[in-house]
Amino acid sequence: MTTALLRSILALHQRREPGVLCTIVKTEGSTPLKTGAQMLVHVDGSIAGTIGGGALEHAVIAQALAAIPLGESRLVEHRLTRDHNMCCGGTVHVYVEAIEIPPQCFIFGAGHVGKALATLLSSLDIDVVLIDGRPNMLDKGYMAEETIRYINEEPDKTLPVLHWDSNTFAIIATHSHPLDRELLRLALRQPFKYCGMIGSKRKVIVTRKLFLERGWATAEELDRIDMPIGLDIAAESPAEIAVSIAARIIEVKNRKEASHLAHARNLAEVLHQLNPEYTNDFACATATL
């Protein structure tokens, strides 16, 4: 892999954008490029690197774009003369590897539960951001954990400027009930995969009643919020509560989205606007994935 391609993949991660890495893993006969050639396909159809150009590359780009909403990887075979009317005559085997947006979890509140949860999630290949505006809550000793990003600013001021997306998990667990409700009101305006608020059953009842009376959310929107938060495992201590929340996050994270075909259709519409030539190839590739 070239340095330029590595930088492109790192940039994807930093921008939280999906992509697909296409690698030639085997060739037979005459082919434009040989084993090891790689191409990174961005969600808009642009590429970095090449696997040989021409009709082969065009078809693999379509297969790569079809893999993005599915989040799946597969090995594909292209017979250059039969499939693409290329005079090379050889066969190319390409591994189409989806690079998904990594999960991220915003934890609002660095109390006992927040800190325990941040430490636990940081070992689960989740990008963790811990936010608390109180002085000394994020001291240097605790912030030694390099896999966690710390923001020592007021949560309600920080929430709107964070980068939210469909693979974002949000945990609301501050020291203040009014602050929790304000964070929930702001979070409902953002895209997310999971959002939960810590609290007793009474706190949940009061919160739902307040949000509905003031028109801050509909009943359907509130039903998307996990409150009380986490799985019911009779947790009592902060560490046990953190485990129950982490378990719920793992459950949501690892569940396959039933609506992946809807995402594929939405992506097809975007691709048609960018380049109508991709549309037919994308439809065929989606059908075979």
Domains of the chain: 3-101+260-288 (no CATH), 104-254 (3.40.50.720)
pLDDT of 94 over the 60 cut: yes
pLDDT of residue 266: 46
Average pLDDT over residues 146-174: 91
In the structure, what pLDDT confidence band is assigned to residue 261 with cuts at 50, 70 and 90?
A: very low
If phi > 0 it is left, if psi is from -120 to 50 it is alpha, else beta; for residue 250 that is alpha
CA distance 70 to 51: 22
- Per-residue pLDDT, averaged over 53-80, amounts to 90
Instruction: Tell which wins on pLDDT, 125 or 186.
Output: 186
pLDDT at 135: 83
pLDDT tens across 228-237, in order?
898 988 888 9
pLDDT band at 34 (very low <50, low <70, confident <90, very high): very high
Average pLDDT over residues 137-149: 70
pLDDT band at 52 (very low <50, low <70, confident <90, very high): confident
Q: What percent of the chain has pLDDT over 70?
A: 85
Tell me what pLDDT residue 280 has.
Answer: 53
Task: With cut-offs at 50, 70 and 90, classify the pLDDT of residue 270.
Answer: very low
Edge-to-edge order in the sheet of strand 104-108: 148-151, 127-131, 104-108, 168-172, 194-197, 225-226
Residue 134: closest CA among 120, 115, 147: 115
Q: How many CB atoms lie within 10 A of CB 70?
A: 18
